[in-house]
A = this chain, B = another copy of it.
């Protein structure tokens, strides 16, 4: 299932995006190309992780929503698209080390194949190249904003790690973590796409908030899939959050408001996946989390209510809805 199969998306826009995203991939690959074969072997592996390219798509769409014609001629949008995808790949590679995951997009992870050490260094190489690529645009404010975003992202990851095995983690802190580690980059994509298209600060902020809400909805849904999905279908290791002592929204709510909190805490402690899954389903906690994600989607859509009425804006609306409905 791809972003471009979403019902109602303008086919002409999809064709344009496909061409643009091909360019993004070319920029991405060219940036990572090295004189050293072992480095290229790793980069090829990362290429396989590249799936839906949600982040570059948001950079491009946000630019087009502001000014339909701008992205065709904008090397900057494509460059920043590649930068954000590189940052995202770095987080995937390092997350797989953190989570000891062995499967991603239906294939072996870098850590599983080349060891944790190689995965650590590959992530660093991706981060470094993302900043280098961003610098080629020559606008110091872009670098500054990218640095702010990645600082926030790392803070989110550190706070999340710190709260592993913390059964008292509350919903506010969970949302702070999710906002920082996931939504900050997605919000940044939308904001930078708008900025590069010449949007004023008000519109940049609107698109930033759209992205933040979309990102939170996306992560809540991702966390839900880790509890509910079939591993084969999802193409990555599932049940990892619980194994790693990472509490997510349905569990946080069940532990705070559930009928038998002590029993649920015991199931968490003993990593009883199947029983927990059944319990959370029966007690409506999956549905409760899904509703929160849908509320965030509604917020995201409200933030872009005043954008020009064009195909890109329509796709941003459709994309927001799709985030909570499908498994991409």
Contact = CB atoms under 8 A, between A and B. Distances in A.
A234 interface: no
Chain A interface: which size bin? 35 or more
Interface in A85-143: 90, 94, 97-98, 115-118, 120-125, 127-129, 131-140, 143
Given A135-B143, A138-B140, A121 B161 contact: yes
A98 B127 contact: no
A75 to B, nearest CB: 15
A1 B35 CA distance: 39
B148 A144 contact: no
Contact of A122 (B42, B125, B158): B158
A277 interface: no
Contacts of A116: 97, 116
Nearest to A145: B135
| Assembly stoichiometry (copies) | 2
A267 B270 CA distance: 46
Interface stretch (A3-11, A64-72, A149-157, A214-222): A149-157
B121 A98 contact: yes
Contacts of A135: 140, 143-144, 146-147
Nearest 7 Cβ contacts at the A-B interface = A132-B147, A38-B162, A135-B143, A125-B154, A128-B150, A135-B144, A98-B117
